[in-house]
Structure 1
Amino acid sequence: MPKPKLPNLDDAVAIDIHTHAEEPCGLHGDDGYDDFQAQMASYFKSPNKHPPTVEETAAYYRAKKIAAVIFPVDAERETGFRRYNNDEMLQVAAENSDVLIPFASIDPHKGKLGVREAKRLMSEFGVKGFKFHPTMQGFYPNDRMAYPLYEAISDGGAIALFHTGQTGVGSGMPGGMGMRLKYSNPMYMDDVAVDFPDLKVILAHPSFPWQEEALSVATHKPNVYIDLSGWSPKYFPPILVRYINSILQDKMLFGSDWPVITPDRWLSDFAKLDIRDEIRPKVLKQNARKLLGI
């Protein structure tokens, strides 16, 4: 199929670099995913009563005049939740390419099969990046097992976006739903940034409790960026705000973590932060646009 057109970002008021495709078309997640989603909605006090479809997500962002990077999370091996097939999500995203920017997700444990899938998705769909979730996928980001997949992504000029820190996934469930926080320490990303200096890397979320580790990696490695999703800005630690206002002003990216946090809530709280006026447009749109190459 021809690669979908990308949004006209001149008309967008912002770019949300971090939104989730949660509800497969015609395949409801009846394998424990409902309990997981209910816990997430409770933790984040989300107004969404059910996971929105990709079409519903596109309609929401279209009405807000915000472009959205959207992706599923392939964590079926570790969690038992069936993955939202990349091809299915990308087909729907292509039908809403006026507002959606497609990323995909491949568990690096898939090995050569995952590498082939990544190459095909970049070629056929023009996928701009790939989402990794070390906690949900159960791996250290610097595990050499994942390196062939990173190499394919780097060679394709795409972005690797990694969940970092603890943002509520599995919180309050027995044993944290079996998820181990240790995998998402952003310091492991330092090895990845060294070994793949041409790979564009995004550290997703304020990286509690490792915020300073994330800031140090992003400051030291020119290919590493930080997205600010998964937390309301009113809870940002002071050191993060300080770096947004100074050293890392060109590497900070607006992200909501839709649907658990809505852009309305995030943007409203961000407006109340003491951020310099000339930096706000960078965070909301300019930095992401440059990184995405759109």
Structure 2
Amino acid sequence: MTTRPSTIQAGDKIAIDVHVHLEPPADGSAADLAARQYFGDSGAARDAHGLAEYYRSRRMACVVFSVDERLSGRPQLSNDEVAAFAEANADVAMAFASIDPHRGADGVAEARRLVSAGRVRGLKLHPPLQEFVPNDRLAYPLYEVFAEARLPVLFHTGHSGIGTGMPGGGGVRLKYGHPMPIDDVAVDFPEMPIIMAHPSFPWQDEAISICLHKPSVYIDLSGWSPKYFPPTLVQYANTLLKHKVMFGSDYPLITPDRWLADFEQTAIRAEVRPLILRENAIKLLGLEPQSDK
């Protein structure tokens, strides 16, 4: 399998955002309105051109994806549309696929097609919206495709802003966001990079333990303002996990402008900040050779 080399000039970028949602215009669905109420209206552009120009103007690169799910009713783009956006904006964007494991052989075939063509650089999964536990063998054929290609799989973990405040939480079951089953995936696919998205409230200690124990597991800091990061997360990001924690925003729900402004006020050490903002992602995503330091 081949992956097209990125044209992103990482040395020119001040940050790499590893968690960006590429979405069609908001449709006014109940889930979308509830998400806006939970996160606040960021004012971020939701059209593809606006997203690309946002990151280009700020000298940032980003990982983009949609979410293949049928629970929330929120609009989504196909993987081919996401890949086409990244190809058209290859100076700032890299595409991850998103495939609901319940799609079975059809989903695996789509994953293999996208990876073989070099159109995607990883996989985004959202267990609470896709209604599966990460260590369910249902998902293992998908993992095999990305493990073979040594491409990362990014899992939503922890609380879900989608569904918050809706009757019955919009049908979203928070149990699927528990990070501990990801430990089994890391054991069974030790060469496959894994990114646990978001501070994993209310299971942050479990996520830290997995990331500390398994060399292939990383954490992205998306979906929360840094001013709400728990002290243990800041402590480990400053020390034992300083090479395994990465910047992510959750655009368009949270923008890099807001995230970075709040990040400036956190107790992250000066020498660790560049690791979180760009160096760790550059190494994980293979954007440019890294020297051992």
TM tier relative to shorter chain? over 0.9
> Is contact 2:134–2:185 with CA below 8 Å preserved after alignment?
yes
Cα 1:264–1:80, aligned 2, differ >3 Å: closer, same or farther? closer
Task: Say yes or no: does 1:66 pair with 2:67.
Answer: no
RMSD: 1.6
Task: Say yes or no: does 1:115 pair with 2:108.
Answer: yes
Q: Deviations over 1:211-257 (max 9, x none)?
A: 00000000000000000000000000000000011110000000000
What TM-score results when the alignment is normalised by the length of structure 2? Answer: 0.93
Q: SS at the partner of 2:68?
A: coil
Q: How far 1:4 sits from its partner (Å)?
A: 7.4
Q: 2: CA distance between counterparts of 1:53 and 1:123?
A: 28
Identify the residue that residue 164 of structure 2 maps to in structure 1: 171
Letter in 2 for 1:56: G
Identify the residue that residue 291 of structure 2 maps to in structure 1: none
**Structure 2: which 5+ residue stretches go unaligned?**
288-293
Paired positions, count: 285
Identify the residue that residue 57 of structure 1 maps to in structure 2: 51
Identify the residue that residue 256 of structure 2 maps to in structure 1: 263
Identify the residue that residue 239 of structure 2 maps to in structure 1: 246
> Is contact 2:19–2:250 with CA below 8 Å preserved after alignment?
yes
> Is contact 1:19–1:255 with CA below 8 Å preserved after alignment?
yes
Identify the residue that residue 103 of structure 1 maps to in structure 2: 96
Identify the residue that residue 84 of structure 1 maps to in structure 2: 77
Q: How far 1:65 sits from its partner (Å)?
A: 0.6
Q: 2: CA distance between counterparts of 1:223 and 1:250?
A: 12
Identify the residue that residue 207 of structure 1 maps to in structure 2: 200
Q: How far 1:125 sits from its partner (Å)?
A: 3.8
Q: 2: CA distance between counterparts of 1:57 and 1:267?
A: 17
Identify the residue that residue 195 of structure 1 maps to in structure 2: 188
> Is contact 2:26–2:32 with CA below 8 Å preserved after alignment?
no
Q: 2: CA distance between counterparts of 1:106 and 1:64?
A: 30
Q: Deviations over 1:78-105 (max 9, x none)?
A: 3445641111121122111110111110
Identify the residue that residue 15 of structure 1 maps to in structure 2: 16
Letter in 1 for 2:149: G
Match of 1:36 among 31, 36, 49: 31
> Is contact 2:20–2:250 with CA below 8 Å preserved after alignment?
yes
Q: SS at the partner of 2:96?
A: strand
Cα 1:57–1:117, aligned 2, differ >3 Å: closer, same or farther? same
> Is contact 2:156–2:196 with CA below 8 Å preserved after alignment?
yes
Q: SS at the partner of 2:85?
A: helix
Match of 1:236 among 229, 236, 251: 229
Match of 1:45 among 40, 45, 53: 40
Letter in 2 for 1:70: V
Q: How far 1:122 sits from its partner (Å)?
A: 1.3
% identity of equivalent residues: 52
Q: SS at the partner of 2:11?
A: coil
Runs of 4+ displaced beyond 6 Å: none
Identify the residue that residue 7 of structure 2 maps to in structure 1: 6
Q: SS at the partner of 1:67?
A: strand
* Structure 1 range deviating more: 10-19 or 38-47: 38-47
Q: How far 1:114 sits from its partner (Å)?
A: 1.1
Q: 2: CA distance between counterparts of 1:153 and 1:54?
A: 26
> Is contact 1:4–1:94 with CA below 8 Å preserved after alignment?
no
Q: How far 1:108 sits from its partner (Å)?
A: 0.7
> Is contact 1:139–1:183 with CA below 8 Å preserved after alignment?
yes
> Is contact 1:17–1:288 with CA below 8 Å preserved after alignment?
yes
Cα 1:126–1:89, aligned 2, differ >3 Å: closer, same or farther? closer
> Is contact 1:90–1:125 with CA below 8 Å preserved after alignment?
no
Letter in 1 for 2:43: N
Cα 1:117–1:29, aligned 2, differ >3 Å: closer, same or farther? farther
Q: 2: CA distance between counterparts of 1:69 and 1:123?
A: 19
What TM-score results when the alignment is normalised by the length of structure 1? Answer: 0.93
Q: SS at the partner of 1:10?
A: helix
**Structure 1: which 5+ residue stretches go unaligned?**
none
Identify the residue that residue 139 of structure 1 maps to in structure 2: 132
